[in-house]
Amino acid sequence: MVTGNPPANLPGLPEEPVARTGMFGATGTGDTSGYGKLVVRRAPKLSTPRPYGGPVGPSGRGDFDDIADQLERALGGDLSEAVESVVVDRGELTFHVKRERLLEVCRHLRDDPALRFELSLGVSGVHYPDDAGAELRAVIHLCSITHNRRLRVECAAPDADPHVPSTVEIYPTHDWHEREAYDLFGLIFDGHPALTRIQMPDDWEGHPQRKDYPLGGVPVEYRGAETPAPDERRSYA
């Protein structure tokens, strides 16, 4: 991730393809933060082949392979029937789980003695507007206190059908986290006991942390001076 126009010979940063430019939807406005010139050239890593590696576990193999094998055994079949892809990046393991299997996978992750991801650190929303058919993601961060492991679970939904199952019945602390993801990203968690906005007013239009949401904003007055809203600031480009 670099800003401006990087030199062509910058090591480890291919010129093509350009994954995206800009950030926070800051295009065509007077935003002067510099994010509008951000250039990201690395394509996202979509899948990791076995072996997954990770810290060496009790079996003598990589811990990430043990987790995948244990989940596959708990599911009683091929892991790919429930998990669309496995990604290992920066020493972290992520399971991309199919929507219709999310509750089943989370129950096994929590209850199976060989897995025991009994602690959830929360649910967050993510918006990838260029990922057709999987623009919205619910991301669950799990921790096994029993086995000293961490795991990320992602579940994707398209903009046209932004529904994912609520996991409140498995991890009750997801209640407010799912409300926040609904409020700010528009993810609808089916089965949530009371899916209402939690930060924005009830009559607010749109979901402010989506990347296609206008910068907007309101002027800020401080010590007699007024700072215009981001979309009204003077551009120095």
- Residues 118 and 15 occupy one common structural domain: no
Q: Does residue 205 contact residue 145 with C-beta atoms inside 8 Å? A: no
Q: Residue 22's pLDDT is what? A: 58
Q: What is the mean pLDDT of residues 32-46?
A: 59
**Residue 156's CB: how many other CB atoms inside 10 A?**
20
Better-predicted residue by pLDDT, 77 or 174:
174
pTM of the predicted protein model: 0.77
pLDDT tens column, 207-234:
999 988 877 677 778 888 888 776 676 6
Better-predicted residue by pLDDT, 152 or 57:
152
Above 50 in pLDDT, residue 7?
no
Better-predicted residue by pLDDT, 210 or 30:
210
Is 229 domain-assigned? yes
- Residues 57 and 144 occupy one common structural domain: yes
Q: What is the mean pLDDT of residues 77-94?
A: 93
- Residues 151 and 209 occupy one common structural domain: yes
32 band by pLDDT with thresholds 50, 70 and 90? low
Q: What is the mean pLDDT of residues 202-207?
A: 92
Above 70 in pLDDT, residue 146?
yes
Is 208 domain-assigned? yes
- Residues 10 and 123 occupy one common structural domain: no
| Number of domains forming the structure of the chain | 2
Domain that holds residue 4: 1-24+35-43
CA distance 179 to 165: 13
Q: Does residue 215 contact residue 31 with C-beta atoms inside 8 Å? A: yes
- Residues 61 and 164 occupy one common structural domain: yes
- Residues 13 and 83 occupy one common structural domain: no
Q: Residue 235's pLDDT is what? A: 62
CATH for 198 = 3.30.460.80
Better-predicted residue by pLDDT, 101 or 220:
101
Is 29 domain-assigned? no
- Residues 3 and 110 occupy one common structural domain: no
201 band by pLDDT with thresholds 50, 70 and 90? very high
237 band by pLDDT with thresholds 50, 70 and 90? low
Q: Pairing between strand 188-190 and 163-165?
A: parallel
Q: Residue 17's pLDDT is what? A: 59
Token output for 136: 């919205």
199 band by pLDDT with thresholds 50, 70 and 90? very high
Q: What is the mean pLDDT of residues 193-212?
A: 93
- Residues 39 and 62 occupy one common structural domain: no
Token output for 79: 């892991």
Tell me which residue of 92, 96, 99 sits closest to 83, measured CA to CA: 96
Q: Residue 213's pLDDT is what? A: 84
- Residues 224 and 131 occupy one common structural domain: yes
5 band by pLDDT with thresholds 50, 70 and 90? very low
- Residues 5 and 103 occupy one common structural domain: no
Q: Residue 172's pLDDT is what? A: 97
Is 74 domain-assigned? yes
